[in-house]
Structures are given as structure tokens and as C-alpha cells.
Amino acid sequence: MKRRDFLGAGALIAAPLAGCDDHGAAGMPKPPAVAVGPDGKRLLPWQNWSGYQHCLPQDRLTPASEDELATLLKSAPAPIRPVGAGHSFTSLVPTDGSILSLRRFEGLIAHDATALTATVGAGTKLGALAELLQGIGQALPNMPDIDEQTIAGAISTATHGTGQKLGALHSQVIGLRLVTPRGDVLDCSRQQNADLFDAARVSLGSLGVITQVRLQNVATHKLKRRVWFEKFDTLVERFDELAAQHHSFEMYYLPFCDSAMAISIDPTDEPVSPRGPEQDNDAVMQVKMLRDYLSFWPWMRRRLMNLAADDFPVEEAVDQWNLVFPSSRDVRFNEMEYHLPREQLMATLRQVRERVESRHHEEFFPVEVRTVKGDDAWLSPFYGHEESGSIAVHRYHLEDPLPYFADIESLYQPLGGRPHWGKMNTLTAADFAQRYPRWGDFLALRAQLDPEGRMLNPYLKRVFGLE
Ligand SMILES: Cc1cc2nc3c(=O)[nH]c(=O)nc-3n(C[C@H](O)[C@H](O)[C@H](O)COP(=O)(O)OP(=O)(O)OC[C@H]3O[C@@H](n4cnc5c(N)ncnc54)[C@H](O)[C@@H]3O)c2cc1C
């Protein structure tokens, strides 16, 4: 029997025994309806991927050229907030001014086949980017879990994959172009406007709008992906060894299960053997069903989870790099991810597990554990570290994430963790100032580029301590 059939059967057996727990949407924000502005203009609501963030902007802008963009940045109703694919969980985008999308800045602009560099439009989504790079014999060294984000949106929040020798996406950026709120067009790299380059690679859409990005890539290659289950305690003990041994390695702690899942990805010359149909989304809904039906019988939930994990065969797949890294995420959620001192990662994961299993019986989403190499972008959560360890917790999109996230977040505070910029957290400007050595330099440069605060929505004002 396959793991998903098994979990499904377990849930069906349990269904008549118990009523479905009410983990409903009480207190969850509700998106605004379509409205009409004072000038009779139809206002269209915007919401992010999870539906948690939303707004009713006065304008939705999609410039077609840098000239048009420069004009809009000077004249459109503020706050002006750039949007990529809307996959961030924090309030980076919502505005009652203008939402500005670069979806018309898409595709390959130039490339160098010898140096393996490529310049692409800022609105290019990672999936399309991967295909166009593959077409010119290049590859991204690493990718996040999904490929729906735009390149500018992804680097702006320090989006990353996993691998202790692999940096976040922005660490591959060797140049970018920014149009400032005053309409200036600035190119930057390590050689040109170096301070701007260090600030702009991870800049939360607060310095201006990025129109193009130059990437240092690697040659296209095949990868082998291996997925297996091991006892949680054994995997925790082996984590450092596996992270050092593999190009890319991550583990998932499954709530209320004695085993955990491991995924390794390594370059290979083996023949292609594709990944096959995605099973993650079904599996998540089935562990949700176990949570719903078996909340009064936690021992039975654990037993079924353990049986399913024991039943899981090792999965192996070999394919072109861009068909191996990303997965699909159809079950919507909100997320909090913290980047922590690497040496504390496993001890902290044990604390997270203890807290989930003693206080959060409602939780069912796998907890993702990754490593990321350090870099030198001023607002990179990986700034100044050799490598960081990340722990990501999730909450089903129709259920209130805040009490759970706050309880887990309190474990990270003594460690001085830095949250993912695109994922929920409760840190204040004072916390960020303490955790980012170049915080003051970033704010000074930001004030210079955007003296009137045209890019600042209420959330960014809070983050930057400008209220
Ligand atoms: C299902 C799912 C899976 C995810 N997996 C991962 C993962 O594996 N690893 C990880 O690190 N993160 C992950 N994330 C988080 C996600 O990668 C980030 O939040 C990312 O920033 C989203 O990119 P986006 O294109 O949707 O940008 P948006 O969320 O729309 O915007 C993000 C930021 O970029 C700014 N921005 C957008 N375009 C521009 C531009 N042209 N110029 C200047 N600023 C701009 C926005 O103003 C905003 O501040 C995931 C999110 C989801 C929903």
C-alpha cells in the first residue's frame, strides 16, 4: 500500500469515531470587496498567495518601460509598493496607494556563454527563468521549494533553498538596475555603486524598483534527488554529517510521528528517471485528516503516522536541475521561518518538537529544516555568518497562525535569530537594529533615495522605526 492510500484509509477508519475538531477561521482577516473610489474609479482588491494579506489600492500599475516606470514612481499615488508574485506572508505589499507589477519586464536580456552570466527582466518568474537558462546551457546553483516567485521579489526578501555551501538567491546576483522614487535609473554591482549594490540585493522593495538582474550561474547539469524516512532522533544526530556530505540537504520533522523525512540533492551523470506525480499536497491533507479525526486519540494518530512513515519506500529521481529542485504547494498556508546560529539548529529543533507536541496538538504541517551559506548583503539574514540553520513552521491558511507562531518564535529570541523577510514574525525596528550590523547604513541610504517616503507602507514604516 502506498503511504497516501494508507493515511487515507487510517483517516476513514477514524472518521466515524470522532467529530471534526473546530480549527476554524475565527479572527482571520477578510479581504475587501471590489469598491468604487471617490472619482468613480473601480478599485480592485489585492491579496497575497495565502489570502492573509490584502488591500484595496487606488491604482494597479504595470509599466512597460523604464521611462514609464520612472514617471509613475514620481506621480502615482503613494505608498507605491512593487509586487512580484505575491508569495510573501508579511505585509510588504499591501497599500492603499499604488501596487506596481513588473510583469512586463520579463525574459532574457543578455548572456555570456563563457562566463555563465545572464541578465533577466526583474518580473521573470523562477520557473520561466529556469527554462530560459536551460535553453542557454546555464543553471541556477540552487532553488527554493517552489518556482512561482519573480526573481526581483525573491531576492528582495532573501529567498533561499538549502545547502550549507549554497547561498541564497541574491548571493548569485552580480549586478542590478534600480529605478528610484525620484526617477533616477541606477546600475550597481561590486564595481559600480558598491554601497547601493550591498543594500539593494535584499531591500524589501523599499529603495525603488528593480528592473533587471544579472546572475552568475553554473553550467546546466543533472541532479539526483533522494527522499527517505529515518527515526527523528537518528536523523537529528546525523544532520551535520548529511548536510556536509550532500550538495543540498534538508529534513522535515513531522508532528506526532517518531520518524522524520530527509531529502538530499546531488549532481549526477546517471540516466534520467523523472520525479513522478507530486504527492506532497495529498500527504499534507491526509495528515490534516488524522489531526481532525483523531484529536481525542493522540496515540492512534501517532501510531498511524509511524506506520505510514515505516511504509514509505526510498524515492529516487534523476533529472535536469530545474525539474528536480522545485515542488508544487497547492495546500495554502501561512509561514514563519527563522534563520538561526547553525550550531544551535538541532538543539532548537528538539525544543520546537517538544513545544509542538506538548502545546500544539492542532499542528500537522511538516516543519522544514534547512541550511544556508552566509553572504554580505546588508539586510541579508545570512549577513556575516559562515552558514545559518533555518526552521520553518506553517499553519493552514484557514486557521489563525499567530498564537502558534508567537509561541515558537519565543524559543528563537535568546538566539538572536533573524526572520525571513517574507515570512511572519513579530520583531520590531529595535530588534532588527540589534541583529543587523549595517541597519543604520541601510536606513541612511534609503532616506537618501526616497526622502519623501513614497515607497513606505505602514508595515515598512514600523519595520524601519519611522512611525
Ligand atoms: C508556497 C511558498 C513557498 C515558498 N518557498 C520558499 C522557499 O523555499 N525559500 C524561501 O526563502 N522562501 C520561500 N517562500 C517565500 C517567497 O520566496 C518570498 O516571500 C518571495 O519574496 C516571494 O517572491 P514574489 O515574487 O512573490 O514577491 P512578492 O511577495 O510579491 O514581493 C516580495 C518583496 O519584493 C518586493 N519586490 C517585488 N518586485 C520588486 C521589484 N521589481 N523591485 C523591487 N522590489 C520588488 C516587494 O515590494 C516585496 O517587498 C515561499 C512562499 C510560498 C508562498
330 Cα: distance to centroid of ligand 1 (angstroms): 17
338 Cα: distance to centroid of ligand 1 (angstroms): 16
Does ligand 1 come within 6 angstroms of the Cβ of 460? Answer: no
Torsions phi, psi of 150, nearest 5?
-85, 155
Q: Whose CA is nearest to atom 32 of ligand 1?
A: 153
Whether residue 51 is contained in a domain is answered as yes
Q: Provide the 3-class DSSP secondary structure of residue 83.
A: strand
Torsions phi, psi of 402, nearest 5?
-65, -50
Does ligand 1 come within 6 angstroms of the Cβ of 167? Answer: no
Residue among 83, 328, 421, 455 to mutate when testing ligand 1 (max atoms within 8 A of CB):
83
pLDDT 10s digit of each residue in the chain, 467 long? 344 454 444 544 444 444 334 444 556 777 788 888 878 888 899 999 999 999 999 999 999 999 999 999 999 999 999 999 999 999 999 999 999 999 999 999 999 999 999 999 999 999 999 999 999 999 999 999 999 999 999 999 999 999 999 999 999 999 999 999 999 999 999 999 999 999 999 999 999 999 999 999 999 999 999 999 999 999 999 999 999 999 999 999 999 999 999 999 999 999 999 998 888 888 888 889 899 988 878 899 999 999 999 989 999 999 999 999 999 899 999 999 999 999 999 999 999 999 999 999 999 999 999 999 999 999 999 999 999 999 999 999 999 999 999 999 999 999 999 999 999 999 999 999 999 999 999 999 999 999 999 999 999 999 999 98
- Residue 80's CATH number: 3.30.43
Strands 138-139 and 46-47: unpaired
Does ligand 1 come within 6 angstroms of the Cβ of 257? Answer: no
Whether residue 87 is contained in a domain is answered as yes
Q: Provide the 3-class DSSP secondary structure of residue 26.
A: coil
Whether residue 63 is contained in a domain is answered as yes
Task: Please report where in the chains the cell 529595535 appears, as a residue.
Answer: 430
Which of 73, 101, 129 marks a domain boundary?
101
Whether residue 285 is contained in a domain is answered as yes
Do 233 and 226 meet the contact criterion of CB atoms below 8 Å apart? no
Whether residue 212 is contained in a domain is answered as no
Whether residue 219 is contained in a domain is answered as no
Residue among 61, 88, 462 to mutate when testing ligand 1 (max atoms within 8 A of CB):
88
Nearest to 439 by CA among 428, 426, 452, 424: 428
Whether residue 85 is contained in a domain is answered as yes
Shared domain for 267 and 399, answered yes or no, is yes
Nearest to 130 by CA among 263, 62, 223, 193: 223
Shared domain for 80 and 228, answered yes or no, is no
Does ligand 1 come within 6 angstroms of the Cβ of 155? Answer: no
Nearest atom of ligand 1 to the alpha carbon of 207: 43
Torsions phi, psi of 96, nearest 5?
-100, 10
Q: How far apart are CA 66 and CA 428, in angstroms?
A: 34
Residue among 60, 68, 87 to mutate when testing ligand 1 (max atoms within 8 A of CB):
87
Does ligand 1 come within 6 angstroms of the Cβ of 81? Answer: yes
Task: Find the domain containing 290 and state its range.
Answer: 224-232+244-425
Q: Whose CA is nearest to atom 27 of ligand 1?
A: 153
- Residue 352's CATH number: 3.40.462.10
Q: Provide the 3-class DSSP secondary structure of residue 72.
A: helix
Which of 101, 116, 132 marks a domain boundary?
101
What's the DSSP call for residue 20?
P
Which of 83, 101, 119 marks a domain boundary?
101
205 Cα: distance to centroid of ligand 1 (angstroms): 10
Task: Please report where in the chains the cell 541597519 appears, as a residue.
Answer: 439
Cell numbers for 142, please give them: 540552487
pTM: 0.94
Does ligand 1 come within 6 angstroms of the Cβ of 63? Answer: no
86 Cα: distance to centroid of ligand 1 (angstroms): 7
426 Cα: distance to centroid of ligand 1 (angstroms): 18
Domain count, the chain: 2
422 Cα: distance to centroid of ligand 1 (angstroms): 6
